[in-house]
Amino acid sequence: MIDLSRGPVHISAGPSANSNSMCLTIISRTLRNRGRVIWMTRELSHNEKLLDILGHHSENEMNRMMIVEFGNNISGKVEPIKRMIPSLRGEDLLIVEEWCESYGRAKKSDCTLMQELAGLNKKTRIIITSNSYEDASGKKKGLNGWMVRGEKSLGSIFRTVWLTKIEEQYQKVMITDGDEQTIVHLTKKGFEKKN
């Protein structure tokens, strides 16, 4: 669905694109493929969604996942994680969901922290997510007028992958990765490619 073999990824999600379900889908696939997961999130998903997407995994698979809920204090929760990142392997995953606030500019300290996390281990798969914002200049920069948070600081380190809700198409989302576009649809088990 999203190629994670080409370096760190920044998922920039438009309104109603459901980046949380995308994160859970990628986590589920990583666990199924025997990888370990460190999932840092601003706020945990609803229990029902967690059970739908991750509930079919065995206890052994779930034991390979660490969840850190950081709220509004990512810097206060990240130090123990920094010590673990160098031990992650190529099939493992570090995912930082909603690494910055959904309003205003991304804080310089948060951008610096994301740069630091990406530099701690070049072989593991790293994803960060944030909400896209509209280009106020009217120049239609970014993707159809949507912009990625922290682009100036993070654009050379993280490849931007866009998630956009397809209008008037129930549960369908477009993934735009460079010139490639893929339509996926949301099921109870997470996102699946549309045939």
pLDDT-derived band at 133 (thresholds 50, 70, 90) equals: confident
Residue 195 scores a pLDDT above 70:
no
Instruction: Write the CA distances from 132 to 26, 106, 161, 195, integer angstroms.
Output: 20, 11, 11, 27
| Token pair recorded at residue 137 | 């200049």
Q: Mind listing the domains of the chain with CATH numbers?
A: 9-193 (3.40.50.300)
Question: What confidence score (pLDDT) does residue 172 get?
Answer: 93
Q: What is the pTM of this model?
A: 0.93
- Write down the mean pLDDT value for the chain: 93
The residue among 40 and 102 whose pLDDT is bigger is 40
Q: Is 106 helix (H, G, I), strand (E, B) or coil?
A: coil
pLDDT-derived band at 140 (thresholds 50, 70, 90) equals: low
